[in-house]
Amino acid sequence: MTRNLGIRYLWIDALCILQNSTQEWFHEASIMGDIYANSTLTISATNSINSDGGLYYSRTPLSVWPCRIEATWTCFPSKKMVMKTRGWAAEKAMKPLGDRGWAFQEWLLSKRTIHFSKDQVRWQCHCLAASEVYPEGVDSELYGVPTKNLIRLLKESDNPKILWLRIRQEFSKKSLTVASDRLAAFSGIARMVFKVMNWPEENFVAGLSRPELLIELLWLHAYVNILEARTFLCDDAFGPVTGGHLNVRCTLWSVELMYFPRADGDAANRKWKAIFQDAISLTHEWSNASLDNVPHTRSSPPIRRTFYYMPIMSRVQGLEERNCDLVGLLLEKDADHHHQYRRTGMLELFEIEQKTLLASSVGLVNMDSAEARSMDASRLCTIDII
């Protein structure tokens, strides 16, 4: 295909990057976005499941060939023509490559991409999205993200942060063979967006935006104040990280969780009991916990474990606003460092009386309020979440 186009040079990452070399991979991953952004054309084997799939497929031409039919339904006037064609970026037509994280960056940054799909060939550039069925082009968004002249859209947008959010949302849906590649596979997009918008690099925190960190963590109406957010980089501000931490001011309660598997194995209606030892002073049986990397089976006995609970936010329930749901993180203390904690999961407590939450013995207040600023520091904790 490259020869037929009259282009002399073909770049393929699997051939042009030294394999099994961590140093080489980190360097090449940091400039891969520039390679695609400055290439003449990206050739996409969109329908191939792997590198052996190739570009070309046997197909039935009539499946995409325009045709004329005469409607015979009584609800249409005589001679009425009706036709339905597959959209330019129909979801199935852009798979399986469209589900991959690396392809998302390649398609978004490339000036021009030619997609070899199963049903037809599609074309995409800053000026046009076209195909064999739509040779003159159509207005198109690929999985909700505008792919034509993203730079112009960012510059002209009244709120470019919304577009930036949409890009990250769509990328988060994509799959990666190696989970640790997630930031590397997004670094080219992030670098381009920050350069176009003239945003400071330090505002990029492992895919999140530092000024909107509470919102992007979904810590709304927060009972937590982030004092510092730090990541440890692998030389690239937008690339992979080796670690990091959030230094936060928060309320921290000790809670014992008991899990009772349902006899029918229905995980959606699992039964949890939360026993607080030093704060709410109650046994809360209407709650839902989600533990990271802890499997539960139908035959397992009741599980009883102690955690630290960091309330994040509450949601008012009912018209009378007397009760609320409380959402927070489950943490476990790091054995080697006294003030460091690791996330273990989440715990949501349903239908708690607001007067219980706001009682002085609990001391739960919104960190943005004047009450929080004047609160006795001994009732709050400053910890690192790693």
CB 248 within 8 Å of CB 312: no
Phi-psi region of 220 (alpha: psi -120 to 50; beta: other; left: phi over 0): beta
175 and 256 both lie in a single domain = no
State percent of the chain over pLDDT 70: 75
pLDDT higher than threshold 80 for residue 84: no
178 and 325 both lie in a single domain = no
150 and 256 both lie in a single domain = no
The pLDDT of residue 328:
93
How many domains is the chain built from?
Answer: 2
271 and 357 both lie in a single domain = yes
254 and 177 both lie in a single domain = no
Q: Pull the structure tokens for residue 24.
A: 């080489």
The pLDDT of residue 66:
67
pLDDT higher than threshold 90 for residue 326: no
Residue 226 lies in a domain: no
Instruction: Give the domain-ending residue among 185, 213, 237.
Output: 185
39 and 160 both lie in a single domain = yes
pLDDT band at 299 (very low <50, low <70, confident <90, very high): very low
CB 273 within 8 Å of CB 260: yes
37 and 177 both lie in a single domain = yes
Q: Look up the domain containing 339 and give its range.
A: 250-385
Residue 98 lies in a domain: yes
Global pTM?
Answer: 0.79
pLDDT band at 76 (very low <50, low <70, confident <90, very high): low
Residue 215 lies in a domain: no
155 and 267 both lie in a single domain = no
List pLDDT tens digits, range 218-257. Answer: 887 788 989 999 999 888 899 999 999 999 998 888 898 8
Which helix (H) or strand (E) element contains residue 297? none
Residue 8 lies in a domain: no
List of residues 6+ apart from 323 with CB closer than 8 A: 316, 317, 351, 352, 353, 354
165 and 266 both lie in a single domain = no
Residues 329, 290: Cα–Cα separation, whole Å: 10
List pLDDT tens digits, range 36-72. Answer: 989 999 999 999 988 888 998 888 877 777 666 666 6
Instruction: Give the domain-ending residue among 170, 185, 200.
Output: 185
List pLDDT tens digits, range 108-160. Answer: 888 899 999 888 898 888 778 888 888 888 765 544 455 556 777 788 888 89
The pLDDT of residue 90:
62
Residue 231 lies in a domain: no
CB 147 within 8 Å of CB 127: no
Residues 277, 232: Cα–Cα separation, whole Å: 36
148 and 271 both lie in a single domain = no
Residue 257 lies in a domain: yes
The pLDDT of residue 375:
56
Residue 237 lies in a domain: no
How far apart are the two ends of the chain, measured CA to CA in Å? 48
CB 239 within 8 Å of CB 233: yes
313 and 170 both lie in a single domain = no
Residue 347 lies in a domain: yes
135 and 45 both lie in a single domain = yes
Instruction: Give the domain-ending residue among 153, 168, 185.
Output: 185
